[in-house]
């Protein structure tokens, strides 16, 4: 395997970040005579996969109709693809069969697909049909980089839970609001713009009722993702939020409530056509919410919850490994102080340093006067 070609496939795969869910991001290149003759990446769930697009590009250049496969075109060609080709019928036909039909004798694969309908079956199919398969060496820098672009997909496939990113804009002393509740604005416009783009890459954004009541956020997708149907998830135990809030502007919203909501409130939300789901107020209820969302194919969830919601997720994460996966904090050079000012993470917290959540791969970046801190708690 020549890493330069796999790195090119990885670069292509990155173009799909934020667009392909619930499918993973995948890039592919076809190499012949030491040169790339075709390349492609998966653009959107339901559309053709990267391998098939690359094959069709070669056929198009050769003037052959896409419905015809001409093995001579791929004689001595090598396919590089970042993820194991699928072998099952989904929204598109199996890629492994297309690869065999095209006449490839060798395929280089970045990583095995953890999705249970694939998970080695694509590799097995290729080998059974005389195709040499070479996997990127596990634990290598390139293999780790390939896995990094599909962390939400990998976690979802392996655990049945979504990948959670906790985002917050805060002061240097960890405050997200003053003692009077004022929070606009602690972080800079540049930080907020960056945070909106990070949100837009996800499948859903989760907030608490307090945040909606105080800030009336739009929670929309932005930039190149502006036409994306980003799902808004609201935790409103009493269903006490006014339906005039912007989070209720269309049907891309799910509200979770508890026994605290009365029948009148439930009726009003139902009449408004809002998807409401009953849960419990304890930490077990919170985990059930995430399991429910994963079953709905929400793999990548952005938590903009406020202190209380952040605290509940943190507390659950200290008891249940593998819940909170990543933090994205925008830290402004301000000091707010005060025991009654809201801290970024509420809840009970830990009683011993040994129980604290530790970061891996911590990165710092300056955004104007602010500092963006990004760290991973879990790596899949």
- Cα(170)–Cα(329) distance, integer angstroms: 7
Q: Within the chain, where are the H helices?
A: 3-13, 50-61, 95-102, 121-128, 141-148, 151-159, 189-200, 209-215, 263-271, 283-295, 307-319
- What pLDDT is attached to residue 68? 55
pTM of this structure: 0.92
* Inter-residue contact 246 to 220 (CB < 8 Å): no
201 or 283: which leads in pLDDT: 201
Q: Are strands 132-135 and 163-171 parallel, antiparallel or unpaired?
A: unpaired
Average pLDDT in the 157-170 region? 96
pLDDT at 67 over 60: no
Confidence band of 94 (pLDDT split at 50, 70, 90):
confident
Beta bridge partners of 277: 256
- What pLDDT is attached to residue 106? 95
Nearest to 104, CA basis, from 139, 148, 69, 60: 69
Write the CB contacts of 144 (distance below 8 Å, at least 6 apart in sequence): none
Other C-beta atoms lying within 10 Å of the C-beta of residue 48: 19
280-336 confidence digits (pLDDT tens): 988 889 999 999 999 999 999 999 988 999 999 999 999 887 799 999 999 999 999
Question: How high is the mean pLDDT of the chain?
Answer: 93
Confidence band of 181 (pLDDT split at 50, 70, 90):
confident
Q: Is 35 a catalytic residue?
A: no
* Inter-residue contact 25 to 16 (CB < 8 Å): yes
Q: Which of 3, 35, 39, 51 is catalytic?
A: 51
Average pLDDT in the 182-193 region? 92
């Amino acid at each position: 395997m020549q890493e330069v070609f796999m790195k090119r496939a990885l670069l292509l795969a990155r173009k799909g970040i934020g667009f392909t869910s619930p499918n993973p991001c995948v890039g592919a290149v076809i190499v012949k005579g030491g040169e790339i003759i075709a390349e492609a990446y998966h653009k959107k769930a339901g559309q053709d996969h990267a391998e098939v697009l690359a094959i069709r590009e070669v056929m198009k250049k050769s003037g052959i109709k896409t419905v015809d496969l001409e093995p001579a075109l791929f004689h001595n060609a090598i396919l590089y693809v970042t993820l194991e080709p699928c072998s099952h019928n989904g929204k598109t036909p199996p890629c492994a069969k297309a690869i065999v039909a095209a006449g490839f004798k060798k395929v280089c694969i970045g990583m095995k697909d953890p999705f249970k309908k694939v998970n080695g079956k694509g590799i097995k199919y290729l080998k059974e049909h005389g195709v040499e398969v070479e996997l990127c060496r596990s634990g290598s820098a390139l293999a780790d980089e390939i896995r990094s672009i599909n962390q939400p997909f990998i976690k979802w496939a392996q655990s049945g839970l979504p990948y959670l990113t906790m985002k917050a804009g805060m002061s240097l002393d960890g405050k997200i609001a003053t003692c009077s509740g004022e929070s606009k604005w602690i972080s800079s416009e540049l930080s907020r713009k960056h945070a909106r783009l990070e949100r837009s890459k996800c499948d859903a954004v989760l907030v608490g009722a307090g945040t909606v009541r105080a800030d009336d956020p739009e929670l929309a997708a932005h930039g190149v993702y502006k036409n994306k149907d980003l799902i808004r998830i609201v935790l409103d135990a009493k269903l006490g939020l006014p339906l005039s809030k912007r989070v209720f502007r269309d049907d891309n919203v799910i509200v979770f409530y508890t026994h605290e909501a009365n029948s009148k409130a439930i009726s009003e939300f139902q009449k408004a056509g809002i998807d409401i789901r009953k849960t419990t107020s304890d930490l077990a209820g919170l985990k059930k919410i995430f399991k429910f969302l994963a079953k709905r194919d929400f793999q990548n969830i952005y938590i903009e919850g406020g202190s209380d919601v952040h605290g509940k997720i943190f507390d659950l994460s200290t008891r249940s490994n593998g819940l909170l996966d990543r933090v994205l904090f925008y830290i402004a050079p301000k000091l707010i102080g005060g025991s009654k000012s809201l801290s970024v993470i509420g809840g009970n917290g830990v009683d011993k340093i040994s129980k604290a959540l530790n970061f891996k791969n911590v990165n710092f970046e300056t955004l104007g006067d602010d500092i963006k801190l990004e760290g991973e708690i879990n790596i899949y």
